[in-house]
A = this chain, B = another copy of it.
C-alpha cells in the first residue's frame, strides 16, 4: 500500500545498538532539551523553536539530525522501550524462581522508571500521539511485557504456590498501573529510594498472591 517514502520505522540495523545515547554531542543536547520540555509542557505544547533555544542551537541543527518533531518523540519512546525489554530479557535469562523473578522485574521496572522519569512521563501522557504503525509496534512490545508477567502468575497459581482466588489479570494491571503512577509522585530527592519502593511493592504483591 505504501507507494513512496513512509515514515521511518525502527529497524534492526540500528547503529547505536550498544547504547541508547545519540551519536553526537549536539544530538544529545537536542534530546535533553526536548525531553525536558516535552515532560514539562507536553509535545504539542512545546515548539521546535523552544527546543533549539534551550539547546543553544537553531532549527537548522535540529532538522539536520532529525526529520521532524515527531521523530524526536519516536526516539524517546524507542530508547525507553528498548531499555525495559532489555531488562526483561536479562532477568528471564537468569532463570530465577517465580518469586525472585517477580522481585527482579519489579525492581528493574521501578529503577528504570525512576532513572528515566521524564521519558516515562512523556510516554504515559503522549503515547496516543504516535502514528498508528509505530503505535502498533510499541504496543506489541508492551504487551509482551504484560503477557510475560501474567503468564508467570498464572503458572504459579496452577502450581498452587500463588493464590488462585486472585485475578491474575487484575494483579498484572495493578502492578503496571502502580509503575506508571510512579512518574507522578516519585522524587529523586524524596524519602523513598527506588530500591525501597520496589521492595515495598514486591511485598505488597507477593503478600496478595500468597496462598490462602
Contacts and interface: CB of A to CB of B under 8 A. Distances in A.
A174 B201 contact: yes
Per DSSP, chain A at the interface is helix
A200 interface: yes
A120 B91 CA distance: 34
Nearest to A167: B200
Nearest to A39: B128
Contact of A173 (B163, B173, B181, B207): B181
Contacts of A166: 200, 203-204, 207
B173 A174 contact: no
A128 B200 contact: no
Contact of A177 (B44, B178, B203): B178
Nearest to A163: B207
Contacts of A173: 178, 181-182, 185
A8 interface: no
A87 interface: no
A165 interface: yes
